[in-house]
Homo-oligomer: A and B are copies of this chain.
Amino acid sequence: MDEWLVRVRSAGLAIAVALLAAAPFSAPAIATPDALQSWNEGDAKRAITDFVAAVTTEGSADFVPPGERIATFDNDGTLWSEQPMYVQLAFALDRVRAMAPDHPEWKDKEPFKSVLANDIKSIAASGQRSIAEIVAATHAGMTTAEFEKIVTGWIATAKNPKTGKLDEAMIFQPMLELIAYLKANGFDVFIVSGGGVEFMRPWAERTYGIPAENIIGSSIKMKYHSDATNPTIVRLPEVDFVDDGAGKPVGIQKFIGKRPIAAFGNSDGDFEMLEWTTTGPGRRLGMIVHHDDALREFAYDRTSEFGRLDKALNTAPQRGWNVVSMKNDWSRVFPDKEGQSAPRQ
């Protein structure tokens, strides 16, 4: 986009500049009804368009200059489906199965034994330590380039075990429209996810239109190996940063260094990000995607193993956070590339 603009300028198109000067500078850049076409008319859609109009209208008390228009999105459950389990967990379990032939000892060693026996309940019950062991075994001990290749290969065919659809097809069309709408209105859009940053980067740029450098997530430590012709960065089996809960505002400060003016989440893991965003000075937008659509996606909240939404749902009204009903606020859930079926009203 910038490059195109530079060509406009270097070509000396004074005519364009003159015409622009005449354009109403106070109007939001793109606020056509079509920009959010998968959003039904209602409170949620209105909260978004009102907010964007307010912060982009020069001279308005709520005006925010473009460089400060920071919007952050959770990923799992906010931009794509997280049921019946986080996609990255499915990836880790698949990796255990793929690596098992080289690890005969895993047959008798937990948590790998349960994974190989497909006993997901036992893994879930065995807690954080088991998950950490699985992550260490499957996400570390290779170079960053090798890991990127593994993720890229895996995601190309990875399917949701319930729906049989590709995981990458189970992204939320209304959120894609929201991201594009915010970007068109001068927002810098970031993903702030509890998921692993290097698990997201290989596909998220293509899938969501959010570049790798705008993706913040959990990470493990890394080490640089100097070499005159082929240096590498190796992934170590040690947690570096957990970008979840109270870690999200810290991640935002570490990686962006600016306080967001809009934040979008779907679970209690997003509580602190929503709080940090909406308690800042000036006009703010906090939004929670509520999964209440068993027919088109999944219905879950207070008792779910993945993406539990309880405290944030209780607090939303008093904090002024908007709760989006997937069922009522979205006319379409998925991009549905195969067939482009008419959106459900």
Partner of A249, one of B6, B16, B231, B246: B231
Measured CA separation A257–B233 after assembly (Å): 12
Q: Are A19 and B29 in contact (CB under 8 A)?
A: no
Interface residues of A, Cβ cutoff 8 Å to B: 1-8, 10-11, 13, 15-16, 19-20, 23, 29-30, 66-67, 144, 183-186, 188, 197-198, 201, 205, 211-215, 219, 222-224, 226-231, 233, 240, 246-250, 253-258, 271-272, 275-276, 279, 319
Distance from A42 Cβ to chain B, minimum over Cβ atoms (Å): 25
Flag if A256 contacts B10 (CB, 8 Å). no
Bound: A246/B183 CA distance, A: 35
Complex interface: chain B residues within 8 A of A205 (CB)? 67
Q: Is the CB of B319 within 8 A of A228?
A: yes
User: Do B213 and A256 touch (CB < 8 A)?
Assistant: yes
Alpha-carbon distance between A77 and B74 when the two chains are bound, in angstroms: 38
CB<8 Å pairs between A and B, sample of 24:
A2-B5, A2-B66, A6-B184, A6-B186, A7-B20, A8-B16, A10-B29, A10-B30, A11-B19, A11-B20, A13-B16, A197-B254, A213-B214, A215-B257, A223-B246, A224-B246, A224-B247, A224-B249, A224-B272, A226-B271, A227-B279, A228-B279, A231-B279, A233-B253
Q: Chain B contacts of A67 at CB under 8 A?
A: 205, 211
CB distance from A260 to the nearest CB of B (A): 11
A272 partner residues in chain B, CB cutoff 8 A: 224, 226, 231
State the main secondary structure of chain A at its contact with B.
helix
Tell me the nearest residue of chain B to A248, going by C-beta. B224
Whether the Cβ atoms of A6 and B30 lie closer than 8 Å is: yes
Contact between chains at A6 and B29 (CB < 8 Å): yes
Closest residue of chain B to A221 (Cβ to Cβ) is B250
CA distance A255 to B216 in the complex (A): 8
B213 touches A255 (CB 8 A): yes
Contact A198 B257 (CB under 8 A): yes
Q: What residues of B have a CB within 8 angstroms of the CB of A66 in the complex?
A: 2-3
Q: How far is the CA of A66 from the CA of B11 in the complex (A)?
A: 20
Shortest A78–chain B CB gap in Å is 20
Query: Do B246 and A226 touch across chains, with their CB atoms under 8 A apart?
Result: yes
Considering the complex of A and B, which 3 residue pairs feature the smallest CB-CB distances, nearest first?
A212-B257, A6-B29, A224-B246
Distance (whole angstroms) from the CB of A85 to the closest CB of chain B = 25
**Which residues does chain B contribute within 8 Å of A2, judged by CB atoms?**
1-2, 5, 66, 183, 186
Question: Are A254 and B224 within 8 A (Cβ)?
Answer: no
Closest residue of B by beta carbon distance from A276: B231
Instruction: Determine if B3 and A5 form an interchain contact, defined as CB atoms under 8 angstroms apart.
Output: no
Q: Which residues of B contact A211 (CB under 8 A)?
A: 67
Q: A319 CA to B271 CA in the complex, in Å?
A: 49
